[in-house]
Amino acid sequence: MVWKLIHLPYPEDLETKSILKQLPAAHAALAELKGIVQSIPNQIILLNALGIQEAKDSSSIENIITTHDDLYKANLDFEVSISPNVKEVQNYVAAMKRGFELVESQGLLTNQTLLKIQETLEGNNAGFRKLPGTALKNAQTGAVIYLPPQDPAEIQELMTNLEQFINDPELSDYDPLVKMAIMHYQFESIHPFYDGNGRTGRILNILYLILTGLQKLPILYLSNHFIQNNGSKSVDYFHKKLGKIMWNKCGMARNEKDLKDAIREISELRNEFWKEVKVPGESNEFNEELAKAGRVADFLELGELFAKDALVREESAGGHFREEYQTKEGEAQRRKEFQFVSAWEYTGEPKDAKLHKENLTYKNIEVKERSYK
């Protein structure tokens, strides 16, 4: 199924009750950080040090791995050979500073600023994509996961709309942090550049905090949560607990009670995961535990959505057997009102996801109930 991106603001109200509850604490933490930074006499030293740290870790997400020693040697013009990875991270620092200077001087966060950031990151002025063929694929299987807009005119139109959404307060009254999340989602979904979209998107987040006055300098360190999280439980602990819930309550045969329990239990497990997961090692090296933590974070959201989808589908068909929907002989009981493909729209929490139905119309085959006899 191919989804067509729509213009911002989205018609749905994304400020759900669960999201609104989290905002006061987030704003308080940002205000505390801003106050601490303003009390430091020489803020440029902090900006340079944390800029390098953020650049290193943000780049490591893209598998561009280097060390602090190499970066500082290169910055001090030591007579050392600069590796391509070090140069990439240096470009990130330069791009973040360039974006900061433009936002400070213009009081706006424009497409021209994003183009300058990407130009600095990649060392070219290719601009927005003009040729088709860009697709996000599974690195192991090669399967296409997401196909962003391909038409240059559509990309330009969506980016113009995003620019307006960022800078025009009349377009929405979202809390700035909610708006930042929407902006980031839309930007990465458009995927406007041939390369550097992830790093540009993370710089966009930092610059928006400055634009809105939530921060004074681009020093918010966003890319190393797992490593710094002082948890007490391993990634495998959470993976096994999730597996047990899925096996016991979301197996081949499911029922309403077990599915509701599964949704609640996975939600609680996901909250515990973000507070208590412990990942050994560093982010500036090949770290399989860190990669595994990212996968388990996805599994926790997908597992909860899996249970929600099974709860909504009040019939038995194929590998989905609802105990409440079976014939007298114990066979699967299909219902015509569920002849559709479910597509769930993310709204902040898996349990709050919004269902979109794509009806299935069969012209050449007859829909039948599966018999297990």
The stretch 334-359 carries a mean pLDDT of 85
The stretch 62-87 carries a mean pLDDT of 50
pLDDT at 3: 63
At residue 86 the predicted structure's pLDDT band, cuts being 50, 70 and 90, is low
- Checking if the pLDDT of 155 tops 90, the result is yes
pLDDT at 226: 64
- Checking if the pLDDT of 299 tops 70, the result is yes
pLDDT digits (tens, 9 = 90+) for 243-271: 999 999 998 889 999 999 999 999 999 98
Count of alpha carbons within 13 angstroms of residue 190, beta-carbon side:
27
The stretch 158-170 carries a mean pLDDT of 96
CA distance 60 to 223: 9
User: With the CA atoms of 68, 72, 78 and 84 taken in that order, what torsion angle do they form, in degrees rounded to the nearest 10?
Assistant: 60
pLDDT at 74: 46
pLDDT at 59: 47
pLDDT at 351: 79
pLDDT at 241: 95
Q: Please name the residue ranges forming H helices in 229-370.
A: 235-249, 256-276, 288-312
Of the candidates 63, 352, 20, 331, the one whose C-alpha atom is nearest the C-alpha of residue 174 is 20
Cβ pair 51, 93 in contact under 8 A: yes
> What class is the 17-223 domain?
mainly alpha
At residue 72 the predicted structure's pLDDT band, cuts being 50, 70 and 90, is very low
Residue located via tokens 């068909």: 317
Of the candidates 274, 295, 299, 294, the one whose C-alpha atom is nearest the C-alpha of residue 350 is 299
Residue 114: burial class (beta carbons within 10 Å; 0-12, 13-18, 19+): buried
- DSSP class of residue 197 equals H
At residue 371 the predicted structure's pLDDT band, cuts being 50, 70 and 90, is low
Per CATH, domain 226-359 is 3.40.50.1000: no
Give the least confident one: 49-58, 119-128, 207-216, 218-227: 49-58
Phi-psi region of 282 (alpha: psi -120 to 50; beta: other; left: phi over 0): beta
At residue 49 the predicted structure's pLDDT band, cuts being 50, 70 and 90, is low
pLDDT at 58: 46
- Checking if the pLDDT of 286 tops 70, the result is no
> What DSSP string runs through 104-133?
HHHS---HHHHHHHHHHHHTS---S--SS-
Partners of 340 in beta bridges: 359
The full length of the chain comes to 373
Domain spans, the chain = 17-223, 226-359
Residue 139: burial class (beta carbons within 10 Å; 0-12, 13-18, 19+): exposed
pLDDT at 139: 65
CA distance 110 to 211: 11
Q: Tokens standing for 135?
A: 């697709």
What integer best gives the mean pLDDT of the chain? 83
CA distance 124 to 22: 40
Instruction: Name the more confident of 129 and 89.
Output: 129
The stretch 73-84 carries a mean pLDDT of 50
Share of the chain above pLDDT 90, in %: 42
Cβ pair 347, 354 in contact under 8 A: yes
Of the candidates 331, 175, 303, 151, the one whose C-alpha atom is nearest the C-alpha of residue 240 is 303
For residue 30, give Cα distances in angstroms to 33, 80, 130, 302, 365.
Answer: 5, 39, 38, 30, 59
Residue 344: burial class (beta carbons within 10 Å; 0-12, 13-18, 19+): middle
Which range of 71-85, 210-224, 340-354 scores highest in mean pLDDT? It is 340-354
pLDDT at 76: 45
Partners of 341 in beta bridges: 358
Cβ pair 309, 342 in contact under 8 A: yes
pLDDT at 51: 54
The stretch 2-14 carries a mean pLDDT of 85
pLDDT at 142: 79
pLDDT at 87: 61
Partners of 356 in beta bridges: 343
Torsion angles phi and psi, residue 233, rounded to 5: -125, 145
Of the candidates 204, 227, 337, 240, the one whose C-alpha atom is nearest the C-alpha of residue 287 is 227
Q: Which helix (H) or strand (E) is 226 found in, with range?
A: helix 225-228
The stretch 33-44 carries a mean pLDDT of 75
Which range of 194-198, 218-222, 348-352 scores highest in mean pLDDT? It is 194-198
